[in-house]
């Protein structure tokens, strides 16, 4: 079965977020609070991601890590591995380096 290759792409906003996370730039976080008198306040605080939250957020944006080396992936490769009884898809993610190696291997 021929694998399906998809390049991981981000929207402009996502790409900006990734760049900010990588550079450690704090994010303005807006919180609105309405008090009992009906006044609404908007609070803005600059939040810097901790290492863990940054990694968690990046993992979300990249939808995983490279199956082979654990770096941030650039490609998603999915393959049908099911049989006639049950459909199944094997999904692997590869960074640019591992993808080139993988591509060279399957083209042989
Ligand atoms: Zn890799």
Ligand 1 centre to CA of 101 (Å) is 9
CA of 16 to the centre of ligand 1 (A): 23
Total-model pTM:
0.72
The domain of 18 spans 4-107
pLDDT tops 90 at residue 66 = yes
Contact 65, 75 (CB under 8 A): no
Determine contact, residues 40/32, Cβ cutoff 8 Å: yes
- How much distance in Å is there from the Cα of 76 to the middle of ligand 1? 12
The token pair that represents 89 in the structure block: 């898809």
Residue 1 pLDDT exceeds 90: no
Report the number of distinct structural domains present in the chain: 1
Please state the rounded mean pLDDT for residues 55-63. Answer: 93
Residue 41 confidence (pLDDT) above 90: yes
Whether pLDDT at 27 is above 80: no
Residues around ligand 1, an ion, CB closer than 5 A: 66, 68-69, 71, 95, 98
State the pLDDT at residue 47: 76
Quote the tokens at residue 9: 């792409």
Mean pLDDT taken over the chain? 91
Residue 35 pLDDT class (50, 70, 90 cuts):
very high
Residue 53, pLDDT score? 87
Distance from C-alpha of 72 to C-alpha of 62, rounded to nearest angstrom? 7
Q: How far apart are CA 86 and CA 108, in angstroms?
A: 30
Residue 46 above 90 pLDDT? no
């Amino acid at each position: 079965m021929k694998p399906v290759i998809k390049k991981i792409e981000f929207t402009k906003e996502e790409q900006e977020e990734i760049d900010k996370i990588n550079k450690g730039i704090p994010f303005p976080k807006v919180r609105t609070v309405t008090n009992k008198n009906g006044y609404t306040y908007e609070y803005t605080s600059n939040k810097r991601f901790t290492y863990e939250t940054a990694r968690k957020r990046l993992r979300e944006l990249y939808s995983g890590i490279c199956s082979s080396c654990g770096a941030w992936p650039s490609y998603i490769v999915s393959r049908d591995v099911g049989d006639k009884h049950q459909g199944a898809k094997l999904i692997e993610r590869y960074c640019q380096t591992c993808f080139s190696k993988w591509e060279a291997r399957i083209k042989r």
